[in-house]
Chains A and B, each alone.
Chain A
Amino acid sequence: MSAPPRIVVDVDSGVPPWRQVRDQITRLIVHGWLPTGARLPTIRQLAGDLGIAPGTVARAYRELEAGGVLSTGRRQGTVVASVPAAAPNALQAAAAEFAGTARALGVDVEAAVAAVRAAYPGEAAYLDE
């Protein structure tokens, strides 16, 4: 019998716990550890086991529901609805999130790219070339 799928939340990693939960569930689905139709724990159970706020798990579930990966019904609970076509790699995911934040701040592409360049002080010259 294979071990049940599990997730690990590192509260000191700097990555928000809801994102850790979302990304690990996505990975487990993509790699087939959680097949379509598999039931997930309730928000309360998962939050209690991980020692995080229920709202944090709810946000991760909400994000996955919005992407069509999970679906929640009154009788069936939360189940895997579909397998994401391809998991975005970590850099793409980070870039997408940064772009979203920049847009929310009203910053245009040039200013956002400049901010990324500024975050690499030692390599700024190389990046500019």
Chain B
Amino acid sequence: MRDTGIELGALAFVGVMLLIALWPTDKTAAKVLRKWNVVDPTPAQVAESKVYLKRRRLLYPWLFLAIGYGTSKLLPSDDGYFTVQVLTTVLAGMLLAELIAAVRPSRGVRRVAVLVPRRVRDLVPAWGLVAFFLGVDVVVVLLVLARPVAVPALVFLAFCVLTSTGAILLAVKRPTSGDEAVDEAFRLRSARVALGLGTAVAGVLAVAADPSGYAVPALCLVLIGLGWNLVSPPRAEAAAGR
């Protein structure tokens, strides 16, 4: 049996700690921009980056509480899913932030648009999508074949697939806002982090199927490795940006 109160308290604590640890400053906002290929960010770009990051970070404590509460009500037992819960909450935060950005209308008298179509494959590599969906398929089979069937892991996996794909699609579809370079950088970051995190969560969930053998932990490590690779900006662009 679990203690829902303690669990929710722990999740809220993680949310607040993340908020404090990741609260953006001028330095960190500029660092994020440089990492995502904005070579020499101007003070205006840094300020915009700070606002963007603050808006996202402020969602964390509430999301950790909401998802923790939802999990405690929906799942019979979620022992051992704390890490997954933290990662899926971060994913849900990304989806929610993208949703908010998608419904925020363009304001101002002069509105600028680039005449280039945006596509999913401009933001995430094809191999990443293949790895993600292939990994998810394998993990689903493993979880369904496990005895007893790992229902909480399947629920988390479904949630992870929905939030990852949703965040990627919204990163493509949401309207542009503010500085073009900053917008492009954060769009790329959202899509790649959503895909990378989704792949890593699928890997972590594979362990719920059969933690005893070698094959499943190996699959888990491969998916986490691929996820880590996806979360980084594309190497060629990053090098060109320096």
Contacts and interface: CB of A to CB of B under 8 A. Distances in A.
Interface of A: 4-12, 25, 28, 34, 39-42, 44-46, 48-52, 77
Given A42-B117, A45-B173, A8 B107 contact: no
B242 interface: no
A77 B116 CA distance: 12
Nearest to A42: B117
Nearest to B109: A12
Interface of B: 105-118, 173-176
Nearest to B118: A45
Contacts of B175: 45, 48-49, 51
Nearest to B105: A51
A4 B184 CA distance: 13
23 contacts: A5-B115, A6-B113, A6-B115, A7-B112, A8-B112, A25-B115, A39-B116, A39-B117, A41-B114, A41-B115, A41-B117, A42-B117, A46-B113, A48-B106, A48-B175, A49-B106, A49-B111, A49-B112, A49-B114, A49-B175, A50-B106, A51-B105, A51-B106
Nearest to A80: B115
B109 A41 contact: no
What secondary structure prevails in chain A residues at the interface with B? Answer: mixed
A12 B110 CA distance: 8
Contacts of A6: 112-115
Contact of A48 (B107, B108, B114, B174): B174
A9 B110 contact: yes
Given A6-B113, A41-B113, 5 more contacts: A6-B115, A10-B109, A41-B118, A48-B106, A50-B106
B117 A9 contact: no
Contacts of A39: 116-117
B77 to A, nearest CB: 43
B176 A49 contact: yes
Given A49-B106, A49-B176, A40 B115 contact: yes
A44 B110 CA distance: 19
Contacts of A50: 106, 111-113
Nearest to A51: B106
A4 B114 contact: yes
